[in-house]
A and B are shown apart, each in its own frame.
Chain A
Amino acid sequence: MSAEMETELEQSVPGMRNDRERVDRAMEGLPEAALDAAIRRGLEQGLKRARRGRRNRLSLLISVSALCMILLLTAFVRVSPAFAAVVRDIPGLSGFVKLIEGDKSLLAALDNEFIQPVNVSVEKNGYKLTVDGIIADEGRLVILYSVEGPGVTDQSEIDNYRLLDENGMEVMGGISSSHFPIGDSENAGTILHDYIDAVMVENEKLPQRIRFSVKLEGEWLEAEFPVDHDRFKGKREVFHLDKPFEIAGQRFTIKDAVITPLQVKLTVVSDPANVKRSNSFINMALVDEKGRRYTSKGGFGELDAEMTFHFQSSYFEQPKELTLVAEGLYLSERYKTFVINTETGETIAAPDQRIALDSIEQTADGIDLRIGMSNLDKTDAMLGYTFFEHKGTFKDAGGKTYPILDRSGVQIEWSASGATPAYYYYRIPKAEYKQPLTFDVKQYPGYVLEPVSIKIK
């Protein structure tokens, strides 16, 4: 449109000039005192809001970070062909060795007889659950168990499991099971060996007693056993570091490192002034003077604030030196939104063109959204992203806020190679929405390759 037409349009709106003068007059008497008071109140409100924000983050930490850990775990698990033949020969353990051979810490622990035999069995309706042994230190508990019963083979799947402490409270930690069917079903054995790996949340003590239940073929079986804390008491090395470093223009500080028999914990704090959101480090590991690598399975917290990474343990190897290495940083822009129309299935805005609403399904509990991330490269695909804040909210076009419903954590489906798209599942309530819907995005794929190497020990 030309300038003349604009002027013409302006002139065609009667009263604009008059109204403008009215506004100018009204503003001549600037209410200075009231304005200063409003500015001060704003700052006070900001101080309060910042404090509240921190508290919220702490309470969310457990669920979000547990998720983060499990994702990395599965992505990083490789069943390596090399494992200690010696360990295979320890009576009663052979069934487990293949399961844990991908985990250096556990193999080293077995090698050093850092295992607590338990041998507790319970039987119910012909099914038998045996806890054979546990491997535990102050922050991690691995339960080696087996199940027998009608129809059970080593190819069976455990439906569900539960870990409670002596008071019947759920154990606070990232709990995972990595059951890989290890043989073909024709020659299937009649005993199912599996293990549960619980990594305790920061500052959460390992319980004295554990009540462990598994659900199999519709049956819950519960075994209770003690954890001998004397076995790992004092077995820790602590390094206070406060070492700053920088990747891709983002600043971080390594606070400390704690080495225990089953893991190395390394706490990294992000500079609050970092422009982008840091999501994780790429291929992070600890390397010792002999070139042995201790990889990370993820950790607790949010790297964008403070995160404690967990590595395979070097405890039994006793290396003279340890260096933290990473190939780069996963990072995303802040304040991005994902805008979709759930009636037409259209994606209106996304932080990255590889991300789009894939499908919508109406269920009894709400509307299930499947969001696809396609064309991810291998590095992108290695990490699970907190695309929307866990238990977060979104807004419809009328400005009304709705919750993102909890589906016992967030479900993600992806291939580590990135060959197929990753799918993120979210559930929203059924409501009369004014389209489109706007979601705040937290993390999404993106990274910078920039190697770092920082001496820890």
Chain B
Amino acid sequence: MDRDECAAAAIRGDEEALLKRIDMDKQQLYGIAYSYMRNETDTLEAIQETVCRVWTKRHTLREPKFFTTWMIQILIRVCMDERKKKIREKPVEAYVQRFEGETHPDDAAVRLDLAAQVQALPANYRMVIALKYYRDMTITEIAELLQKPDGTIRTWLNKALRILRSDMAVIKEGIQDERGNGDGVGAERSGYAE
């Protein structure tokens, strides 16, 4: 069975065909989810939920050839919803904590700050950043996946970048302050300036 035949069988309710078809795209799914989630546990959870929704909503897919796009659209929605859920469950500090746990000594501070800042963005901005800068997608590709006009995606991207830039400026100042006070955390972040 080729991709489309497999997708068509999956839509009709063939479980094996569905698994086979998803297998063809799993690397891409993982890449997108990981770029957004930034940790393995949440990434796998998002993929699990996506497969679940793919199964229950399979009747709504008209053209088997759009299977991949359709599934990624679902994944994107799952990822963006996931964040909402997390925010309700945990205070923002938890993110920093989790990222600190994974830090490596080299550019840890930069990564920590940027990753945390991206995580703090509104879900749509964060998704656009993840797809554009971590998955190398074009504006048009992103627009198709998020089902928005190109112009909207461009606006989101620019707003996201502006927020990141201004946040980074604030963080930079903060770190310099800490350093000036001889704060230990500041010292650890010495690799910050590029």
Contacts and interface: CB of A to CB of B under 8 A. Distances in A.
Interface of A: 1, 6, 9-10, 12-16, 18-20, 22-23, 26-27, 30-31, 34-36, 38-43, 45-47, 49-50, 53, 272-275, 334-335, 398-400
Interface residues of B, number: 53
11 contacts: A6-B161, A9-B161, A13-B114, A13-B168, A16-B133, A39-B22, A42-B48, A42-B52, A43-B51, A45-B49, A45-B52
B98 interface: no
Nearest to B60: A334
B4 interface: no
- By CB atoms of chain A within 10 A, which of B38, B59, B161, B194 has the most? B161
A14 B114 contact: yes
The 5 closest A-B pairs by CB, nearest first: A42-B51, A46-B55, A399-B84, A15-B110, A46-B52
B115 interface: yes
Interface in B153-186: 154, 157-158, 161-162, 164-165, 168
Contacts of A20: 133-134
Given A15-B107, A16-B114, A30-B27, A43 B18 contact: yes
A50 to B, nearest CB: 5
A399 B85 contact: yes
A20 B54 CA distance: 29
Nearest to B26: A35
B100 interface: no
B44 A27 contact: no
B194 to A, nearest CB: 5
A50 B55 contact: yes
Interface string B30-70: 11001100101000110111111111100110100000000
Interface in B1-46: 11-12, 15, 18-19, 22-23, 26-27, 30-31, 34-35, 38, 40, 44-45
Interface string B135-153: 0000000000000000000
Contact of A6 (B26, B115, B158): B158
Contacts of B44: 31, 34-35, 38
Main secondary structure of the interface of A (DSSP, over half): helix
Given A13-B168, A42-B51, 15 more contacts: A9-B162, A13-B165, A15-B110, A18-B110, A18-B114, A23-B38, A23-B134, A30-B27, A31-B44, A35-B30, A35-B44, A41-B51, A49-B52, A49-B56, A334-B60
A31 B44 CA distance: 9
A229 B118 CA distance: 71
A400 B55 CA distance: 25
B90 interface: no
Given A26-B34, A30-B30, A49-B56, A19 B114 contact: yes
Contacts of B107: 15, 18, 22
Contacts of B49: 42, 45
A22 B51 contact: no
Nearest to A46: B55
B52 A43 contact: yes
B110 A272 contact: no
A31 B23 CA distance: 13
A31 B33 CA distance: 13
Contacts of A335: 60
Contacts of A10: 133, 161
A53 B58 CA distance: 14
Contacts of A14: 110, 114, 168, 194
A38 B49 CA distance: 9
Contact of B47 (A19, A42, A272): A42
Contact of B154 (A1, A27, A41, A275): A1
Nearest to A49: B56
Contacts of B133: 10, 16, 20
A335 B54 CA distance: 14
Nearest to A273: B59
Contacts of B81: 399
B59 A42 contact: no
B77 to A, nearest CB: 10
Nearest to A397: B84
Contacts of A275: 60, 62
Nearest to A45: B52
Nearest to A24: B134
A303 to B, nearest CB: 15
B158 A43 contact: no
Contact of B88 (A36, A273, A399): A399
Contacts of B85: 399
B105 to A, nearest CB: 13
Contacts of B164: 13
A46 B115 contact: no
A334 B57 CA distance: 11
Interface in B99-130: 107, 110-111, 113-115, 118
- By CB atoms of chain B within 10 A, which of A9, A15, A16, A43 has the most? A15
Contacts of A400: 88
A42 B11 contact: no
Given A13-B165, A15-B110, A43-B51, A398 B88 contact: yes
Contacts of A35: 26, 30, 44, 47
A180 to B, nearest CB: 43
